[in-house]
């Protein structure tokens, strides 16, 4: 498992950050790099540096072309720089819709995650997501929810579409995700 690293600066490029992460992945050794959401962009960048890595994307963009309209508008206008990053934490029902978290324990977990999110990292990650030019890696395996409102699947191929799942599918559909990952590991 790769250890989380803070960005070195608020403007550290994604490719540079991914190169620092890739240092922990032996260059000549086959491995798996699994990325969830923004982590999928990082997984693709690490995969570029470690060609023997098999990359799996969960609830992530397959290419920069898959950026949804709302985020493309944010990128074009710079609006993302003006929005307070704790906003979703104060609008829990909107966050619930974007992430596809169900009521009860999923909703409570999402609220806790939003409260615990480092705003500096979230601001950096959002800027990197919007600036990402890819291209996406051609041989990735994608798992995506059919009801992902935050990062819809877009036009890049999806290998495993989980019916009814939203962006929070690693929680809401954990058993299915685990089964798929175990099947992939056997290949």
Q: What is the pLDDT of residue 89?
A: 62
* DSSP structural state of residue 27: T
CATH label of the domain that carries residue 66: 3.40.50.1820
pLDDT at 90: 62
Q: Is residue 5 part of a domain?
A: no
Asked whether the predicted pLDDT for residue 8 surpasses 70, the reply is yes
Q: Residue 175 belongs to what domain range?
A: 16-186
Q: What is the pLDDT of residues 144-174, one digit of tens each?
A: 999 999 899 988 889 999 999 999 999 999 9
Is 3 within the bounds of a domain? no
Q: Which residues of 23-46 are buried (b: 16+ CB within 10 A; e: fewer)?
A: eebeeeeeeebbbbbbbbbbbbbb
Model confidence over 82-135: pLDDT tens digits?
A: 666 666 666 777 778 888 888 789 888 988 888 888 888 888 998 899 999 877
Query: What are 42-93's pLDDT values in tens digits?
Result: 999 999 999 999 999 999 999 888 988 888 887 777 766 666 666 666 677 7
């Amino acid at each position: 498992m790769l250890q989380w690293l803070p960005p070195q600066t608020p403007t550290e490029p994604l490719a540079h950050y991914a190169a620092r992460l890739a240092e922990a992945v032996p260059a000549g050794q086959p491995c798996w790099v699994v990325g969830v959401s923004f982590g999928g962009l990082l997984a693709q960048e690490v995969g570029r540096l470690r060609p023997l890595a098999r990359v799996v994307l969960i609830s992530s963009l397959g290419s920069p072309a898959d950026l949804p309209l709302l985020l493309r508008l944010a990128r074009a206008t710079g609006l993302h720089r003006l929005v307070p990053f704790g906003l979703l934490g104060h609008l829990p029902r909107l966050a619930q819709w974007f992430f596809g978290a169900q009521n009860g324990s999923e909703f409570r977990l999402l609220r806790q995650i939003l409260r615990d999110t480092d705003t500096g990292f979230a601001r950096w990650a959002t800027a990197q997501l919007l600036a990402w030019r890819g291209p996406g890696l051609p041989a990735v395996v994608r798992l995506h929810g059919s009801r992902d409102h935050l990062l819809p699947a877009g036009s890049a191929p999806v290998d495993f579409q989980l019916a009814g799942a939203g962006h929070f599918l690693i929680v809401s559909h954990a058993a299915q995700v685990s089964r798929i990952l175990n099947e992939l590991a056997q290949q």
